Amino acid sequence: MSRFGPVKIVYSDRFLLHDTGGGDHPETAARLEVIWRSLKKGPLAGNIEILEPRQVDRGLLLSVHTEDYIFRFEEACLSGMEMLGHPDNRICYESYNVALLSAGASQTGIDFLEKGQAPSRVFCCIRPPGHHSEAALALGFCFLNNVAIAAKYWQQQYGRQRVFILDFDAHHGNGIQEIFDEDPDVFYVSIHEHPTFSFPGTGYEEDRGSGAGDGYTMNIALPPGSSDAEVLKAMEDKVAGAIEEFQPDCIIAAAGFDAHEYDDMSGLAYSTRLYGHIGRHLSAWADIYCDGRLVSILEGGYSLDALGPSVEIYLGGLCLEA
Ligand SMILES: [Zn+2]
């Protein structure tokens, strides 16, 4: 066991209740089931502690999303609609409450880090994911922006003003970028497949934030076929310098695993092993710059073969000694 003690996983079986209708929808409850299957038989088995999430605070939710949008989302679920705006965004009766829980998971994780006596590593193993959802828009399987809500919580509850977000999902987190576009206190870095080739078609490198937030967005757009070497080079050449200059009070990882070579959702070709390196980098940065204040929040990852091992090796990387 590392000095971090058991890995803290914020999780509830209620995340399985968000039903995307079967068929060929890729964002399914099976994703979380395969993660648990891997964790329970791998080297972290016996070294995991589950933290129970709570629903996101209403005021916090409204610091990211508009009241009108929240109302429409709730009403769509409770009235039996099957989608919110687009067939990608499948919903069921339970989806609204599950999304509130998914968005609140980071509150539990952040509280644990802030109040814990010993350093810990926290992973929010949640669904639905969040990084495509904007203030008033559901998009790409996402309804509430879990990562943006986590950043606001850290600021509002604990005064950790300078938040660094690293998004390593295959897709650009257009929602996180939109919400913090003009905000110099939240530095959003995304490494993703080039928008010319990939959903949602945002995340060009020339987009660097606007107004007071100019320079606090960094998009690293990789051509299709990019693999471990390109990611590691970007982290060492670009991300490391950005975080050093920014000197964050806390770090949030938008942890998506759909750039894996087995995952059909992108043309990127990361190995499973790469996620261990990403975890190791994040762990070191968290210790160097912000006293270990790092929360990882699950985003995408749709290959039911690759997702479990990728998460497992990522968590292993997070727990390595610097
Ligand atoms: Zn994705």
Q: Look up residue 139 and give its DSSP letter.
A: B
Task: Give the model confidence (pLDDT) of 34-57 as tens digits.
Answer: 999 999 999 999 899 999 999 999
- If one counts the domains in the chain, the total is 1
Query: Does the model's pTM come out above 0.95?
Result: yes
CA 257–ligand 1 middle distance (angstroms): 7
Instruction: With respect to residue 273, please indicate whether it lies within any of the assigned structural domains.
Output: yes
Active site residue 132: yes
Inform me whether the pLDDT recorded for 315 exceeds 60. yes
Q: Is 2 within a domain?
A: no
Evaluate whether residue 1 is within a structural domain.
no
- What is the average per-residue pLDDT within 79-103? 97
pLDDT at 1 > cutoff 60: no
> Cα of 216 to ligand 1 centre, how many Å?
22
Residue 239 inside a domain? The answer is: yes
What is the rounded CA–CA span in Å between residue 156 and residue 6? Answer: 28
What is the CATH number for 78?
3.40.800.20
With contact defined as beta carbons under 8 Å apart, do 70 and 20 qualify?
no
- Give the model confidence (pLDDT) of 191-208 as tens digits: 999 999 999 999 999 999
At position 315, the amino acid (one-letter code) is: L
Catalytic-role residue among 65, 132, 172, 192: 132
Q: What is the pLDDT of residues 257-304, one digit of tens each?
A: 999 999 999 999 999 999 999 999 999 999 999 999 999 999 999 999
In this prediction, residue 322 carries a pLDDT of 59
Does 147 fall in a domain?
yes
Which range of residues forms the domain containing residue 50? 7-318
Q: How would you list the strands of the sheet with 48-51, edge to edge?
A: 48-51, 7-10, 122-124, 294-298, 250-255, 163-167, 186-193, 217-222
Q: What is the mean pLDDT of residues 220-244?
A: 98
Residue 255 alpha carbon to ligand 1 centre in Å: 9
User: How far apart are the CA of 58 and the centre of ligand 1, in A?
Assistant: 27
- Whether the per-residue pLDDT at 146 is higher than 90: the answer is yes
pLDDT score for 45: 92
pLDDT of residue 119: 85
Which amino acid belongs to residue 78? L
Q: Is residue 12 part of a domain?
A: yes
Instruction: Give the whole-angstrom CA distance, residue 150 versus residue 87.
Output: 27
**141 C-alpha vs ligand 1 centroid, how far in Å?**
9
Question: What's the gap in Å between 168 CA and the centre of ligand 1?
Answer: 9
Distance from Cα 283 to the centre of ligand 1, integer Å: 22
Asked if the structure places residue 309 within a domain, the reply is yes
Q: Taking residues 106-135, report their average pLDDT.
A: 95
pLDDT interval class at 118 (50, 70, 90): confident
Instruction: Please report whether residue 195 resides in a domain.
Output: yes
Distance 62 CA to ligand 1 centre (A): 25
Ion ligand 1, residue ranges at CB < 5 A: 169-171, 256, 258, 300
